[in-house]
Amino acid sequence: MAKFVHSMIRVLDEAQSIDFYDRAFGLKVAERLDFEGFTLIYLSNAENTFELELTVNKDRKEPYETGDGYGHSAFVVDDVDSEHARFEEAGFSPRKLVDFQHEGRKLARFFFVQDPDGYQIEVLQKQGRYR
């Protein structure tokens, strides 16, 4: 079997991205690898072993285009309502809370937020298949 260990996104401003992911999701720098033309920053927390890899290309001056193939990443939280309020207080501009249903059954309660580079992140209430 294969184990899914990380996902990578390209970011323009290292400090701004590290600050956002720390304050929003408690992700801390697990490792930072500096190369001549780029830097790799691995972010994680105690909740799981999966990591977010930030790639900073040193010669990049313009924001990245996320394209139409990118969807979103997702985080599960214990209390999505209090997290939504915390995100608002932090100035992260979360979108509205949504109760998502399928055939009359509640599948999820969530909201979306955008990181400093425009990547969409879904924040889900811990329930059902989202654990």
* Confidence (pLDDT) at 82: 98
Q: Which of 5, 4, 1, 7 is nearest to 72 (CA)?
A: 7
Which residue range(s) make up the domain with 5? 1-58
What integer pLDDT is reported at residue 46 of this predicted model? 93
Q: pLDDT grade, residue 119 (50/70/90)? A: very high
Q: pLDDT averaged over the chain?
A: 95
Model-level pTM greater than 0.95?
no
| Residue 1 confidence (pLDDT) | 83
Domain count, the chain: 2
How far from 23 is each of 18, 35, 72, 108, CA to CA, in Å? Answer: 9, 26, 19, 24
Tell me which of 51, 53, 83, 122 is the catalytic residue. 122
Is 96 inside any structural domain? yes
Residue type for position 33: L
Q: In this predicted model, what pLDDT tens digit does every residue of 31-81 receive, in sequence order?
A: 999 999 999 999 999 988 899 999 999 999 999 998 888 899 999 999 999
Tokens at 70, concatenated: 């990118």
The reply to whether 62 belongs to the active site is no
Query: Would you say residue 64 lies in a domain?
Result: no
Check which CATH number belongs to the domain holding 82 and give it: 3.10.180.10
